[in-house]
A = this chain, B = another copy of it.
Amino acid sequence: MTEPDPADADIEEVNPESQAATRNLVFAAAERLFAVHGFQKVSVRDITAEAGVNLASVNYHFGSKDALLLEIFRRRTAELNRARARILHEATDKHQGHPPVRAILEALIGPPVRWLDPNGERLISLQFIIRSRSEGTEEMRAALRHDVSHLRRFADALLAARPELAPEDVYWRLHFVLGMLHNNRFAEFDRLHTLSEGLTREEDFEGLVKRMVDFAEAGFLR
């Protein structure tokens, strides 16, 4: 078993782009290919060819293909969690420590849906995160259980906002909302568009946030 694992300290020590240009090239190419084609279908040779670097670069800079995958996963989920926590924190301040259900749901739903905007640079990262939920390595699922500590704040806030509900009801409904979010894949949107015959288009992402928050809020206020 290899157990040194210096991965934690690495994130903070990443210099912007002073050195290790090929490292960033590999990181970006891998994230894009993984997000579009899936983890198992993308080989190390695909990544290095896309990045225009040597085949051995992946193992030299990241140790292994799985370690590269894990590093992308950790960075992107940390960013998403930070964006969510910031909005929840602001809502908590604004409402004297007890934000209403709608504000909590906006903090949960807003960031990942805004990342769907193809004009931004976050769409690929979001697709990567969603894909890692079903295709991830064993290490990544272990990290997903640690991610529960992040959901804890949202669950507690919802429990406080709806004290008359049985806690299990709150947990189940939170589970439903997360399901709505994780379903925002390319293929699912395509099916929706063909089903509605082009009537639905996800151009207006603030409007989509409102749609989802409306739907989820109704389920919570019932």
Contact = CB atoms under 8 A, between A and B. Distances in A.
B179 A188 contact: yes
Given A41-B40, A199-B167, A219-B216, A178 B172 contact: no
Interface string A208-220: 1001101110110
Contacts of A21: none
B38 A187 contact: no
Identical subunits present: 2
Contacts of A181: 179
Contact of A176 (B145, B148, B199, B212): B212
Interface stretch (A94-102, A118-126, A129-137): A129-137
Q: In which size bucket is the chain A interface?
A: 35 or more
| For the complex of A and B, 8 pairs with smallest distance between CB atoms | A179-B183, A40-B40, A215-B219, A171-B196, A218-B222, A179-B180, A218-B218, A218-B219
Interface of A: 38, 40-41, 131, 133-135, 141, 144-145, 147-148, 151-152, 155, 167-169, 171-176, 178-185, 187-188, 190-192, 194-196, 199-200, 208, 211-212, 214-216, 218-219, 221-222
